[in-house]
Chains A and B, each alone.
Chain A
Amino acid sequence: MKNDNHDENRIKRRDFLRDGFRTLSALGLGGVAGLLVSKSRSKNTVWQIDPHICVQCERCATYCVLNPSAVKCVHAYDVCGYCELCGGYHQPDAQELDTAAENQLCPTGAIKRTYIEDPFYEYTIDEETCIGCAKCVKGCNAFGNGSLYLQVRHDRCLNCNECAIAKVCPSGAFRRVPADSPYILKGKQGSL
């Protein structure tokens, strides 16, 4: 009889302990949640490349979880110098400044040029073909105004929790930016 009573008490004690710990855990979780929410921001963040820090290491082309990469070359047209030998379009030792593949720098031929007037061409990037290798960016920075640069394209980017490119970016050019201003642009558009 005494033993039964003891067992009953034991179970009650266990329930009591569980209730107590549960209340404590709930309070703890609530506290942590409150702290985190007060620290966090309601706006989501997305990954972006700061073109002023990027060193064109070519890793964006290969490390993205997407194939082809969500990083693409973009063109700040108002920065472009409309060079005759476009450092981003032509090989530095191009024999002819024409559209022949052997004279082009882009490994996939993703840069299209359209004739404006003699001797100017407008250069646009075909994002379907661009792989984000930054070869043209390097050329444009070396010889031109640096109007070609890399950006994470948010119609493609999956916004991974840990960006696989950011992890290997040698210059620290990758960072999270608020989703309502998701690009770090060059030229007038960037300073707006």
Chain B
Amino acid sequence: MSGKRSTFSNRIGISYVSKSDMRKPSSPGKGLISRKPLIKIRRVFRRTVLVYVILISGFAATMTSFAQDRFPKPEFETDYQQPLTTTPEPRSQAWEYVDVFLLVTALSLASYFALKTRSRRSLFILMIFSLAYFGFIRRGCVCSVGATQNIALALADSSYLLPVAVVAFFIFPLIFTLFFGRTFCAAVCPLGAVQDIISYKKTKLPAWLSQVLGLLPYLYLGLAVLFAASGSAFIICQYDPFVSIFRLSGNFTLILISGVFLVMSVFVARPYCRFLCPYGVLLGWMSRLSRRHVTITPDDCVQCRLCEDVCPVDAILKPTPEKAPETRAQGTRRLAIMLILLPAMIIAGGWAVSRLDGILSRVHPRVRLAEQILKEDAGIVRETTVESRTYRSQGKTVEDLIQEAMTIRKDYQKGGWYLGGFLGLVFFGKLYGLSVRRKRTDYVPDRSSCLSCGRCFLYCPKERVRLKNKTEGR
């Protein structure tokens, strides 16, 4: 029993040493042992306890572990049973398969509605389902758009644990697009669904503006892959336009982004899909090669251009005016320019972006930490940060950190060449696309930017007649 008491005084001692020695003991509280006989003991203990605390904290700092078992478990006189720490289970793994199953089902239905039944109404209903399930129920995570980053990180870092469900969310929409066009965008993607449902007015943007803004997704994709592969950040998730709506909570930046995109979506159809979505770039490539694609009408076009007016994303290409074909000399000259331009633009882009390694690598937290610690050591900044204090307390050397930061920066230099080369190629592709004039006699959807939303179906007079005949035929 006496041994037990001395442990208490020890405990009280520790707590008081940590604060002030000056305070006179107040009247004993409820359940507190009378402190008067303990004052002497406390004085004796004070110094030893102080040493003890310093030793413990020193030990804790070097071992980065906690001084557990400072006090042994008391011997309870009652039959007190210690409860267990509760461990609520995460969402069951089975739900992951349900998600993937629903994704594939939704993709199949969207393709069926867009290509076979050609029904905007069915697409709209499916869109509401996708918004409800992939958006509000699944809280927008994992989405196919964000999965791009997981894939990039998994390809760059073999130690990264990649769940199969994420692979499925990345691959299935691409495969479906390769066969049926961007039906994923039409009615499966919850981000697209939000914008599509609230789209009220179609503002036709000037061609030059939509061409320039249309380059942004490539830049966004390139940066997202670079940052993800280098393990710096998942920027697509950080600046997700609607995830704060799906979760009904979020930080200020996310809510601001959501607000801006919501207001924009009312007047300009699907601004995120067209001018930012990085996954849309990949889908666009697949859609160009797609085996089948949405048609405005399976019948002959009468060139009434009503579809062009109704298309919310300006994805309908006009028939080209009759023009004399270019001469052989012109063609040769164009080919020569292109052949010189292609490598020049790739190399120039790569060189330019690789020079930005200093700025870009600062996205990586370790590089920022290294800079902070160097600044602290050089006396440039007085204030230490939580990060720098933590790093120093972990007992690692500054040299290690600088070495690590330099390695990351080198990775960025290399990654910069890839990113710049990619952007150079994209610019070249854009220039080439603008310089080539394909011959078209009818109004046709542009395969890469058409989102298969199905709005044009009912605006086509030929399609109306066809549908009428079809229903009467039955």
Add 7 more A-B contacts to A53-B64, A167-B365 (CB < 8 A). A40-B154, A41-B163, A46-B90, A83-B11, A116-B80, A120-B76, A178-B161
| B residues 62-91 in Cβ contact with A at 8 Å | 64-74, 76-78, 80, 82-91
Can you name 9 A-B residue pairings with CB atoms under 8 Å?
Answer: A40-B166, A44-B96, A65-B254, A75-B85, A144-B70, A145-B70, A158-B247, A170-B386, A183-B85
A44 — which chain B residues lie within 8 A by C-beta? Answer: 90, 93, 96, 163, 165
Given known contacts A83-B71, A182-B90, A185-B87, is B234 in contact with A162 (CB within 8 Å)?
Answer: yes
* Chain A contact residues, majority secondary structure: loop
The 9 closest A-B pairs by CB, nearest first: A81-B71, A155-B88, A154-B90, A162-B234, A40-B162, A146-B66, A77-B82, A96-B29, A170-B390
Q: Are the C-beta atoms of A40 and B163 separated by less than 8 Å?
A: yes
- Determine if A102 is an interface residue (Cβ-Cβ < 8 Å): no
Q: Which of B147, B150, B166, B250 contacts A65 (CB 8 A)?
A: B250
Docked CA distance A167–B368 (Å): 13
B171 — which chain A residues lie within 8 A by C-beta? Answer: 29, 32-33, 36
A75 to chain B, nearest CB (A): 6
Q: Are the C-beta atoms of B161 and A26 separated by less than 8 Å?
A: no
| B residues 297-311 in Cβ contact with A at 8 Å | none
A183 — which chain B residues lie within 8 A by C-beta? Answer: 85, 87
Q: Are the C-beta atoms of B18 and A182 separated by less than 8 Å?
A: no
Q: Are the C-beta atoms of A65 and B12 separated by less than 8 Å?
A: no
A82 — which chain B residues lie within 8 A by C-beta? Answer: 71, 73-74
Given known contacts A43-B93, A44-B163, A143-B15, is B20 in contact with A93 (CB within 8 Å)?
Answer: yes
- Determine if B316 is an interface residue (Cβ-Cβ < 8 Å): no
B26 — which chain A residues lie within 8 A by C-beta? Answer: 95-96
- Determine if A160 is an interface residue (Cβ-Cβ < 8 Å): yes
- Determine if B8 is an interface residue (Cβ-Cβ < 8 Å): yes
- Determine if B291 is an interface residue (Cβ-Cβ < 8 Å): yes
Give the most central of B8, B77, B175, B386: most A CB within 10 Å.
B386
Residues of B within 8 A of A (CB): 8, 11-12, 14-15, 18-20, 23, 26, 29-33, 60, 64-74, 76-78, 80, 82-91, 93, 96, 139, 141-142, 146-147, 149-151, 154-155, 158, 161-167, 170-171, 174-175, 178, 233-234, 237-238, 244, 247, 249-251, 254, 285-286, 288-291, 365, 385-387, 389-391, 393-394, 439
- Determine if A129 is an interface residue (Cβ-Cβ < 8 Å): no
Docked CA distance A113–B251 (Å): 34
Per-residue 0/1 for A43-60: is the Cβ within 8 Å of any B Cβ (1 yes, 0 no)? 111100000110101010
Docked CA distance A152–B136 (Å): 22
Given known contacts A144-B71, A162-B233, is B390 in contact with A22 (CB within 8 Å)?
Answer: no
Q: Are the C-beta atoms of B163 and A29 separated by less than 8 Å?
A: no
- Determine if A101 is an interface residue (Cβ-Cβ < 8 Å): no
B71 — which chain A residues lie within 8 A by C-beta? Answer: 81-83, 144-145
B174 — which chain A residues lie within 8 A by C-beta? Answer: 29
- Determine if A16 is an interface residue (Cβ-Cβ < 8 Å): no
A150 to chain B, nearest CB (A): 12
- Determine if A18 is an interface residue (Cβ-Cβ < 8 Å): yes
- Determine if A1 is an interface residue (Cβ-Cβ < 8 Å): no
Given known contacts A65-B250, A77-B83, A117-B77, is B290 in contact with A33 (CB within 8 Å)?
Answer: no
Q: Are the C-beta atoms of A22 and B291 separated by less than 8 Å?
A: yes
Docked CA distance A39–B155 (Å): 9
Q: Are the C-beta atoms of B74 and A120 separated by less than 8 Å?
A: yes
B65 — which chain A residues lie within 8 A by C-beta? Answer: 52
- Determine if A5 is an interface residue (Cβ-Cβ < 8 Å): no
A162 — which chain B residues lie within 8 A by C-beta? Answer: 146, 149, 233-234, 237-238
Q: Are the C-beta atoms of A171 and B390 separated by less than 8 Å?
A: yes
**Chain B residue nearest in CB terms to A17:** B289
Q: Are the C-beta atoms of A25 and B289 separated by less than 8 Å?
A: yes
Q: Are the C-beta atoms of B14 and A21 separated by less than 8 Å?
A: no
**Chain B residue nearest in CB terms to A96:** B29
Q: Which of B60, B76, B84, B142 contacts A116 (CB 8 A)?
A: B76
